[in-house]
Structure 1
């Protein structure tokens, strides 16, 4: 896979950077996050017009059919600006699941609407006791007539508060041994209730309760028993996108810190003149470059046919990028001195986002264990 930017990819990166500088000023982002409004319909529509939402959607459904290399370009730029909109859960994860496992009718009805920004669909699979296991599912789908009735609860649904529909995992039949399947559940379905709340990094999540939600047979995504594989496919794409996003956030945080050191003066000279601080900045750059390299590995893993090798590549990337993000974030706070601990500077927003990168889609302990299991297999 060639990660050298093509002319089209460079143009996309440049246009995205200009867009966030002019239409997504950081002061506006911070204000919205503090007011609990992490989603802006106007920004979402503009991202759709730029092709971000339909980037990897197949062309027959109104998308561009691009691959992981182009997605890395986009997520890296979105990460630099800490864009809060639900690009990863909707345009990456849900799109990947529906494009690979959805029925022709589901793809025709939903993928095009997602690419234009008219509909937001997010996965809802985590439960209170599931940790990061995709197969730990207590939600039940009881076959009734030609359809299903869903009962259960999902937790930490990323951007679930503004979703139009959910991709819900549930056990078909027996609540202990039934096969796990995925269902496309419209938000307006009777029995669906959503409770939103803020996350540490200024984004939003939600708990989704399903109380006797009646669905037709056409709500089933794929076949019963394919649910875990379909979810894993979406999570894999989400991990690769998050790695690129984190690398972009680190890149921008280093720029912010370097500018602060050039401006802040101590003992008659800028802090950037002190060799010890130069060494610490150099260490931050090394970690950022390592993270970007592993983001390339994660993107390449999506085309890896060997499942065990793919697991190892994605797990290694997630753990390495999380470690680099913690290092860069902590160093940036320390290099800003006492100001770095306040809520006045942008450095705090980047630090919180990079800290939250670790638990998203599996923390370092989970992926270290996953890597070890793949090695044993």
Structure 2
């Protein structure tokens, strides 16, 4: 995989950076985050116009059919701006699942809508008792006539409050099959309760009470739901790693500027060698995270499942560790101001902290790495 930016990728990165610097200002982001909606529909439409939402959607469904390398370019820039909108859960994860496992009818109906920003689709697979063990889902789907009746609870659906449909898991009653269903937000019996997360984003809990869907709601074969779900999560991990690398990059720039302007004992803080060493440590960790984001993107093209899991889990653990160090150092180097809500640094710190727990924490991925090595 070639990670040198092509001319088109560089133009896209430049366009996104200009958009974030001039229109997606930090004050505007905070207003959106605290407004309770979780996303700015005008910004969402602009991202669609720039091709961000349809980047990896095949051309026959209104997208651009770009590779994981182009997705890394986009997510890195989105991370620099801490973009709130549900690009990763909808345009990356849901689009990947539908493109690889959806029926022709599901692709034709949902992929163009995702690419144009008309619809938001997110995954709902976590439950209060499952932690990250996806195969232990307790939500059930009972066959009835030409469809299914789904009952159960889902928690922490990423951007679930803004979603128009959910890709959710349920176990087929009487079997060990874990199926993936595409359930519209307005389905009778589905209740969605949204709430803010620590990093300013939004999540939602779902309650499904006798939700009736027909067989066309099943994504792929009923027995392949876990495979389809993991495909989307793998793409999400790669996107999240690139986003975190971009956030670290911007946070280091903010911290360096603060050290150049803040005076102590008649000279800028940047002149003190001890602080220079700490900045150097942050830069090393950022470069390591960016390198592992490349590894995660390359893993998506890996045909061996065990090798793909090893690469993605290694990237996730390394990026989470780097993000934690960069975020903590940035707060400390800002001194007492770093603990206030007045500066941007706190927002970046919270986002980088959440990178660890999203899509599997470090403990989970270390165990998954070990299992993949054993396999």
2:61 and 2:318 mapped to 1: Cα distance?
A: 35
CA distance in 2, matches of 1:80, 1:341: 20
Whether the aligned pair in 1 keeps the contact of 2:252 and 2:282 (CA below 8 Å) is yes
* Residue in structure 2 matched with residue 89 of structure 1 by the alignment: 89
Distance 2:63 2:34 in 1: 33
Residue of structure 2 in register with 1:168 after alignment: 168
Matched residues in 2 for 1:313 and 1:218: separation?
A: 34
* CA displacement at 1:30 relative to structure 2: 1.4
| Partner residue, 1:146 | 146
Flag structure 2 segments of 5+ consecutive residues without an equivalent: none
Deviation at 1:36, TM superposition (A): 2.3
Tell me if 1:73 matches 2:88.
no
What number of residue pairs does the alignment pair up? Answer: 375
Counterpart-to-counterpart distance in 2, 1:214 and 1:277: 60
Matches of 1:60 and 1:134, distance apart in 2 = 32
Q: TM-score, normalised by structure 2?
A: 0.99
Residue 19 of structure 2 corresponds to residue 22 of structure 1: no
Deviation at residue 310 of structure 1 after TM alignment: 0.6
Residues 282-314 of structure 1 show CA distances to partners (whole Å, capped at 9, x for unaligned) of 110000000000000000000001111111000
- The separation in 2 between residues aligned to 1:36 and 1:347, in whole angstroms, is 22
List, as ranges, runs of 4+ consecutive aligned residues in structure 1 with deviation greater than 2 Å: 34-38
The answer for the alignment partner of 1:132 in structure 2 is: 132
Query: What SS does the aligned partner of 1:51 have?
Result: coil
SS at match of 1:361: coil
> What is the rounded CA distance, in whole Å, between the counterparts of 1:374 and 1:129 in structure 2?
24
Q: Could you tell me which residue of structure 2 aligns to residue 328 of structure 1?
A: 326
What is the deviation of 1:220? 0.8
- In the alignment, the residues of structure 2 paired with residue 133 and residue 2 of structure 1 have an alpha-carbon distance, to the nearest angstrom, of 34
CA distance in 2, matches of 1:134, 1:99: 21
The two structures have a TM-score, normalised by structure 1, of 0.99
2:262 corresponds to which residue?
Answer: 264
In structure 1, what is the Cα distance between the partners aligned to 2:365 and 2:233? Answer: 12
2:307 aligned residue:
309
Which residue pairs with 2:8 in the alignment?
8
On the 8 A contact 1:36/1:202 being kept in 2, the answer is no
* Residue equivalent to 1:318: 316
Name the SS for the 1:55 alignment partner: coil
Q: Pairwise CA RMSD of aligned residues?
A: 0.7
Q: Which runs of 5+ in 1 are unaligned?
A: none
Where in structure 2 are the equivalents of 1:253-292 lying within 5 Å? 253-292=251-290
Deviation at 1:31, TM superposition (A): 2.2
Contact 2:45 2:117 in 1 (8 A): yes
Instruction: For 1:355 and 1:109, locate their aligned partners in 2 and report how far apart those are by CA, in whole Å.
Output: 36
Distance apart, 1:188 and its partner CA: 0.6
CA shift for structure 1 position 34: 2.5
Q: Does 1:213 align with 2:211?
A: yes
Question: What is residue 293 of structure 1 aligned with on the other side?
Answer: 291
